Amino acid sequence: GGLVHIKGTLQCERPNADLHNFKGRFNWLDDGAPGVLPVTMNEILLRGTLVKNSNAVYGLVVYTGEETRIQMNNRKVPFKNGAYNSFLNLQIALVGALQLLLCLFFAILSYFWKDIYGQMRYYMAFDVFVEGNYRNPVVYVVINFLTFWILESYMVPISLFVTVEIVKFWQGFVFINSDPYMACSETGEVARCRNSNLMEDLGKIEYVFSDKTGTLTSNDMRLRQIAVKGLVYGSRDVAMERDAPLDNYPQAMEIFDPNMAQVLSDFKDMTAWTKWTNKGGSFAGLRKGSSHRLALEDAEERGVAVE
């Protein structure tokens, strides 16, 4: 009931796209007693927020429609274009601009040439009105500009993009797919190029960062050494996958660490308890309830010590 009688106003910043900060204050009156409550991002629920740990939320709408911060952060998807295509488009634009300037220059120059030298070429009939000989200078320049544009149109090769795509296809689907140095040495599977832009993307790579989780590695993990409570077992020069077959466990363990192999062999042959008691071992040195003592007691109950 008290919430219904609260009257107040919220002063906040103008709509913006900042999703991490909010500045405002709530001026309220409750039974005639004024109060000011600061409003930060901790009290703001953005559009689309799901509240799961509360039964109900009483709030005040701050921004609506296109002024919501989520909506203001929605930007148009930028047009994606390859670096090589962008470079190619720039070169074509430069050639087109050069062709435009040349055609305009030749069209203007042809008009002055007609007045100075064209009169002496009687066979061109510049002194009479015929087709192609326009008395209006603007019309004459425009017509000759279009004429030179057609003559110089070969400066921008129309088949350029087709030729580039053929080259990309040949490099990707022929060179990569048939390259023996890019085939797997174990399975013999060759590389497969599925996009003609692959060569362009590979050419842009300058640095390779790998977390060594299998993306750029073979995910081949080999055991060399292990450390248990500060004791290191094994050797860096050990190569179990090369020196001993993994299906021969005793031989592999002997190669990995002879001391560990002896201990495991004693437990396997059930002689570890005898060797331990012959050296004066007892339960007194083990903490009561510890996993080591419980294991030895369980072994004794099962008759391992007797064996």
Q: Where are the domains of the chain?
A: 7-72, 83-155, 225-301
Count CB neighbours of 114 within 10 A.
Answer: 17
CA atoms of 172 and 203, how far apart (whole Å): 12
Compute the C-alpha angle 276/281/284, nearest 5°.
145
Count CB neighbours of 184 within 10 A.
Answer: 10
Whether the full predicted model's pTM is greater than 0.85, yes or no, is: no
Q: Could you list the pLDDT tens digit for every one of the 307 residues in the chain?
A: 466 777 888 888 998 888 889 989 988 877 667 888 888 888 888 888 888 888 888 888 888 888 888 888 887 777 666 677 788 888 888 988 999 999 999 989 988 887 777 666 666 656 565 555 566 778 888 888 888 888 888 887 777 777 888 888 888 888 888 888 888 877 888 888 887 777 777 877 888 776 666 656 666 677 777 777 777 777 777 666 566 565 666 666 666 667 666 666 655 555 544 555 555 544 444 444 455 555 666 556 554 443 3
Q: What is the pLDDT of residue 124?
A: 63
Question: Active site includes 269?
Answer: no
Given the residues 211, 220, 237, 247, select the one marked as catalytic.
211
Residues contacting 15, CB < 8 A, separation 6+: 63, 67, 68, 69, 72
Contact 177, 193 (CB under 8 A): yes
Q: What is the pLDDT of residue 51?
A: 82
Tokens 């599977």 sit at which residue? 189
Q: What is the pLDDT of residue 288?
A: 47
